[in-house]
Structure 1
């Protein structure tokens, strides 16, 4: 049974998380401080540190929550895939949902660049609970690959193209659309993973 104190602690954590998410969207990751998060939520800094060791840890928890919601919607439709092309299209539909949240995509890129400079944080961020890793992607397409081309490489290619688009999109160049990148990625994956007629 949950005590009143546990419930209050959960509520505090959720309010801090919501304040952090709002500030990250508004100001970006680097420009947001723990003091601002606690001030927005109406708590002292000590409340923040009861739940997270750092702003990085809060951000990772937010990313994990967001990706879990995206994955739940992806998994509901992914079971209908019958071949590699359908599987890839379902995955790219999932990725498109992530791009639609434009401000959040920018903040995630900002965090990713910062994480690249910190070995422990980089290792943590590379776990599949925080991103569509090559391993997760490979697991999704493995049963549909008809050739001896490694599913991990199909995953890595698609992830690289998607993440490259995210950078391109954040810079607002307007040259490529997600549809351009999606079709190029699917075509490339099919050329490697589907047996071609002789």
Structure 2
């Protein structure tokens, strides 16, 4: 009779252990989803900071520099074909320059000065780096996202899978925008 009691107690103990392990597993999976959502939020902030930082970057200068590099690394037979094309298109270029000159436009007037451009880019980069640093050290990340973006839908689905106790909140801002706030995960808060 005592062996049945001991077996029942051991079985009860094992069942409680399995239940505790199941609870631990659910909490660990929730923490992993929270970490994934927090990481995606940081990446979204990073994307926004990069877009803000290159907002004043003159795309004409970037494309021109890319073309220079491209032309410098071309093979010789392609360089010969390009020179042939330049001979053919020279009259067209002259006509376009003449039209720009007659209209009072100058390519040099369109481009800001190097010092002014460098100061604007430096200011944008500092502002973006400060914003990214602030997002990384804040106790929560708040993203203002358009509801029509597929990436937003994926983030909101992921946030919906996480229970409300983990510090994930979504709040509609207007008809087309939602604010998603993700608190710093407990695992990162301790570091």
TM-score past 0.5 threshold: no
TM-score bracket relative to the smaller structure: under 0.3
| Structure with greater contact order relative to length (CA < 8 Å, sep ≥ 6) | 2
Using the size of structure 2 for normalisation, the TM-score is: 0.24
Greater fraction of residues in strand? 2
Using the size of structure 1 for normalisation, the TM-score is: 0.23
Structure with greater Cα Rg: 2
